[in-house]
Amino acid sequence: MDPERFLAELKQSGLCAIIRCREAGAAEPIARRLIEAGVRMLEVTLTTPDAEQTIQALATDAPAEVWVGAGTVISTEDAERARAAGARFIVTPGLCPAIEAAASAGLPSLGGAWTASEVMEAHRRGATAVKIFPASSGGPAHLKALRDPLPHIPLVAVGGVGLDDIAPYRAVGTIGFGVGGPLIGDAARGGSLDALAERAGEFVRACRS
């Protein structure tokens, strides 16, 4: 795995789709429709019942330019499970051992943080970029307040980021976005995949730098 390539792709495409489903079998068709719609980076959360099988299936035949990762990765064991399934990156909800485990394995990661101290610690532990979560609690002003003293650490806004929020976050230096509910919508509960594809197209265009 190449953290620098991962970071370059994140900066270019700007969007990481977050797939979190309650039912086994729901995540893979969502992921495939997102890929068809132009999404080049997606995470399947480990809270999804068949997350590892889904990641493995996607990693086997997804186009080379598509980055399939694992989300809600917390422990060293989680990171190893994700890597073994074929995940090309991991995402954590906060500071946890998975960040260091990924760095040791050369696996790119988005390490979760909220405060300046947490951002610095995630970076120190080896996070490729730092996920500010939940971004909606502070909005673009919070990202700007973090970016001003820490311009060398790439920040990603995750949590409650809607289509209309992209431009304000971009304006303060956010390099990318993790988007779940506003993008996936009711597709995780059996909703229209065609409507999902339409939303995906809108987010792909809005997030691309």
Residue-wise pLDDT tens digits, 123-152: 999 999 999 999 999 999 999 999 999 999
Candidates 9, 28, 52, 131; catalytic one:
131
Q: Based on the residue annotation, tell me whether 131 is a catalytic residue of this protein.
A: yes
Q: How many domains does the chain have?
A: 1
Check which CATH number belongs to the domain holding 13 and give it.
Answer: 3.20.20.70
Give the integer Cα–Cα distance in Å for 34 and 2: 23
What span, in angstroms and rounded, lies between the C-alpha atoms of 70 and 165? 24
**HSE of 45, CA atoms in CB hemisphere, 13 A:** 18
Q: Quick check: is 43 catalytic?
A: yes
User: What's the confidence (pLDDT) of residue 209?
Assistant: 67
Q: Would you state the pLDDT for residue 79?
A: 98
Catalytic-labelled residue, pool 43, 52, 80, 121? 43
- CA–CA dist 132, 158 (Å, integer): 6
Name the stretches of the chain with pLDDT < 70.
Answer: 1, 209
Residue 116 belongs to domain spanning: 3-207
